[in-house]
Structure 1
Amino acid sequence: MKGTKRPIQAVSTWVRRQPPKVKAFLAVIAGMAALAFLRVVVHDHDSLFVAAEAVHAAGISALIYKLTKEKSCAGLSLKSQELTAMFLAARLYCSFVMEYDIHTLLDLATLATTVWVIYMMRFKLNFSYMDDKDNFAHYYVVIPCALVSLAIHPSTQHHIFNRICWAFCVYLEAVSVLPQLHVMQNTKIVEPFTAHYVFALGVARFLSCAHWVLQVLDTRGRLLTALGYGLWPSMVLLSEIVQTFILADFCYYYVKSVFGGQLVLRLPSGVV
């Protein structure tokens, strides 16, 4: 085991010493390599979206375990959960009126568990809620997402309200985790189940991003045309990429902590 840890620690130390631009370049290279690997290994790229939903469900399971067994919501962001419920509700509405498929049921189940988490944090476990650390205001993300969705939304034949609502949930999903990252940066120490949950979000976002990118490649760009014209198709892909890179730094420290045998994740300054 020591022989395994040493190369990993050596690589981790080398990466940590690199300037931010080099780290960003390495992250892009690693992402492209992962996409190439998934394209070869996974033949049905639609299954990546289902895998993303499954990983997200696993993360929520870790969160539910924390709330029910530890009877504490310390380290969790109520604001992130509320933003998650907001974009899920918007997406569920759009799914009902625009497509209605298996993802509608998955979103309904995810929304139900998220509402339960919010209820527990607000009423049952509010004594352990770190409201002084969870000070990232909703309007920092909700207002910009609403304004962008008014300007850039799908150009399909659906009602204008439904198209704007669809765009709003896409944009809000991309940044809904920011309050949670802000809480973890304020505390600097992340307990295991919270770390598992956020890491699962990172993996789910990457799989979802990979699904969109590979679908575009498989259809040779026709998928973008199906989404409409103008800036909207590009904004969908950009939102998926933003979601992935927002959590990339945290996932790096999570993996490093796991291989280092640490049960508690300690974040250095400037991660978020």
Structure 2
Amino acid sequence: MRGSSSSRRAVASASAWFRRQPARVKAFLGVTAAVAALVFLRVAVSDHDNLFVAAEFSHAVGIAFLIYKLTKERTCAGLSLKSQELTALFLAVRLYCSFVMEYDIHTLLDSATLITTMWVIYMIRFKLKSSYMEDKDNFAIYYVVVPCAILAFLIHPSTLHNIVNRVSWAFCVYLEAVSVLPQLRLMQNTKIVEPFTAHYVFALGIARFLSCAHWVLQVFDTHGRLITALGYGMWPPMVLLAEIVQTFILADFCYYYVKSVFGGQLVLRLPAGVV
């Protein structure tokens, strides 16, 4: 008990110190922590391709939390239907690209994730509609779908595949990076996040970081050859940028999640302007 109390006080003190720091210091500390995590993964994981599989597994764990919430607690309060629909959209497009361009283990993982995501959408839309916070889930999805489509048309792979397939590939990469924004907006509107929704979003954050780490470490492992293998022009840096963006979108939430867990709080309370 004493050790637990001491740990909580230490976390609270560190958190209070971190909040007092200027934005530049917070950004520096965040980047330093991310670099340290990348160095650890590079040393600890022998085959960095496994990081992408681990990212898919983390996403699956997050969905498992949703399944438990929807089946056992019989409520979808706090969940964004729009984020689930965006997730289903980019997964469907990515599956199409996988079938016509590159079929591998990720295709099977994406298929399982898409099926469960469609089930979550069905539960929110029909079975548990009365608990859906439609008024809080007010992010207009065309704010992300339209820009992603335009960007995909302008910047896409320079491979020998059909232009439709190349644009589709780029579209799902860009859309995945921002698909969680409606969920973050809903949590911003409610300020209070119940445990299973928080577990789900944190699992997404871990998945995004592992996916980003996979790409960054692959660039180092291939001494930059991966960049040229992706094509030329703006597409290779845009792939890496999309991975980095989707990681940092969830970074702030993950910080407050870890703080809440170490503080022994069952319900996550977000300060204004966090997400």
RMSD over equivalenced CA pairs, Å = 0.6
Aligned equivalent of 2:123: 120
**For residues 14-53 of structure 1, what are the structure 2 equivalents within 5 Å?**
14-53=17-56
1:142 alignment partner, one of 142, 145, 153: 145
Aligned equivalent of 1:217: 220
Q: In structure 1, what residue type is equivalent to 2:48?
A: H
After TM superposition, give the deviation of residue 164 of structure 1 in Å: 0.2
**For residues 1-272 of structure 1, what are the structure 2 equivalents within 5 Å?**
1-272=4-275
Unaligned runs of 5+ in 1: none
Q: In structure 2, what residue type is equivalent to 1:112?
A: I
After TM superposition, give the deviation of residue 22 of structure 1 in Å: 1.6
Q: Percent of aligned positions with the same letter in both sequences?
A: 78
Post-superposition CA distance 1:183-221 (Å, at most 9, x none): 000000000000000000000000000000000000010
Q: TM-score, normalised by structure 2?
A: 0.98
Q: Is 40-49 or 192-201 further displaced after alignment?
A: 40-49
Moved >6 Å (runs of 4+): none
Post-superposition CA distance 1:100-152 (Å, at most 9, x none): 01110100000000000000000110000000000001101000000000000
- Distance, in Å, in 2 between the alignment partners of 1:121 and 1:243 is 25
SS in 2 for 1:247: helix
